[in-house]
């Protein structure tokens, strides 16, 4: 797990790099101690699809703005087998982790506003007290910036003792960004040095996928559905593909079967499960 929180030193949180995502709370508590004006636009670029959205931080109660993708302005091209979406012109996943530049609180957009007073206290004590701030956003976020923000969000889920599913979903989203960065690098250059860097990214992605799998498995027995916006059959399918991707082929087959025999699973998810079953056979 050495790569999970690499890069957090820039936020002043390097001392938290040894936290474990699903360790008991007591165990982690001990460890934490653009274009020129007038230029005619002939091509839509990533910056054109973004706007500054205002947020009110539930921890420090200060307002800030961050880049957000304009709703309805991006076109979905396809999705990976683990449901990672691919959009035209912009990887909207880069903008899903919201970071308060004042106190260091960060979370995925769907979880950002939910905060108890006890959680806020933990974040102030363990995050805000060491937080050095964050660089001002440019016109767009780079993959490195986005990955660092998602890792910061994951640290926050551990510190605030969030649900297992939130921790797992944050791991999954971070893995998707690492995959996106690797794909963008290969699209630009296929040289030997690039391939070495891509291999490192793929290794790190696999580690995050493994953590996502572990978290979702445990959440199945402890939490209610819907989970992270997904119903039980969709989540079962995602877990099946995560198991396949991390090499747990027998487990993947069992989770796929659960979707296929489910009476309330719709035909769309069953079709995806059948396709995943074929991929699993090829992998084996």
Stretch 224-236: mean pLDDT:
97
pLDDT, tens digit (0-9, with 9 covering 90-100), for 67-91: 999 988 899 999 999 999 999 999 9
What per-residue confidence (pLDDT) applies to 39?
Answer: 43
pTM, rounded to two decimals: 0.86
Q: What percent of the chain has pLDDT over 90?
A: 79
- Tokens linked to 190: 């296929």
CB atoms within 10 A of CB 37: 5
Given CA atoms 224, 228, 233, 239 in this order, what sign does their dihedral have? negative
Report, as an integer, the average pLDDT of 223-235. 97
> Would you say 21 and 215 are in contact if contact means Cβ atoms under 8 Å apart?
yes
User: Long-range contacts: 158-162, Cβ < 8 Å, 24+?
Assistant: 158/19, 158/20, 158/21, 158/28, 159/16, 159/28, 159/32, 159/122, 159/123, 159/126, 159/127, 160/115, 160/119, 160/122, 160/123, 161/25, 161/119, 161/122, 162/111, 162/119
Q: Domain residues of the chain, as ranges?
A: 8-34+44-211, 231-284
Q: Calculate ∠ Cα 74-77-82, nearest 5°.
A: 110
- C-beta of residue 102 within 8 angstroms of C-beta of residue 57: yes
pLDDT in tens, 234-283: 999 999 999 999 999 999 999 999 999 999 999 999 999 999 999 999 99
**Environment class of residue 107 by beta-carbon count within 10 Å: exposed (0-12), middle (13-18) or buried (19+)?**
buried
Distance of CA 144 to the CA centre of its chain: 13
Average confidence (pLDDT) over 30-37: 55
Q: Residue 224 pLDDT > 50, yes or no?
A: yes
């Amino acid at each position: 797990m050495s790569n999970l929180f690499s890069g957090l030193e820039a936020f002043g949180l390097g001392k938290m790099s040894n936290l474990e995502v699903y360790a008991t709370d007591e165990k982690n508590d001990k460890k934490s101690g653009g274009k020129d004006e007038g230029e005619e636009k002939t091509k839509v670029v990533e910056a054109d699809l973004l706007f500054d959205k205002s947020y009110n931080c539930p921890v420090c109660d200060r307002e800030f703005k961050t880049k957000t993708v304009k709703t309805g302005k991006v076109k979905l091209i396809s999705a990976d087998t683990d449901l990672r979406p691919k959009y035209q012109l912009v990887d909207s996943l880069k903008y899903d982790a919201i970071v308060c530049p004042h106190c260091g609180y960060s979370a995925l957009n769907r979880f950002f506003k939910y905060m108890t007073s006890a959680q806020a206290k933990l974040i102030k004590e363990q995050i805000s007290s060491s937080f050095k701030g964050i660089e001002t956003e440019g016109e767009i976020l780079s993959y490195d910036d986005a990955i660092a923000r998602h890792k910061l969000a994951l640290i926050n889920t551990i510190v605030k003792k969030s649900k297992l599913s939130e921790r797992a979903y944050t791991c999954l989203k971070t893995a998707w960004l690492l995959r996106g960065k690797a794909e963008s690098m290969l699209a630009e250059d296929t040289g030997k040095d690039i391939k070495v860097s891509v291999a490192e990214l793929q290794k790190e992605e696999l580690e995050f996928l493994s953590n996502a799998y572990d978290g979702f498995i445990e959440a199945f027995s402890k939490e209610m559905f819907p989970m992270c916006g997904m119903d039980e059959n969709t989540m079962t399918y995602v877990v099946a593909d995560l198991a396949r991707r991390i090499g747990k082929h027998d487990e993947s087959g069992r989770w796929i079967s659960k979707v296929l025999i489910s009476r309330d699973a719709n035909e769309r998810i069953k079709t995806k499960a059948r396709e995943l079953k074929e991929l699993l056979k090829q992998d084996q």
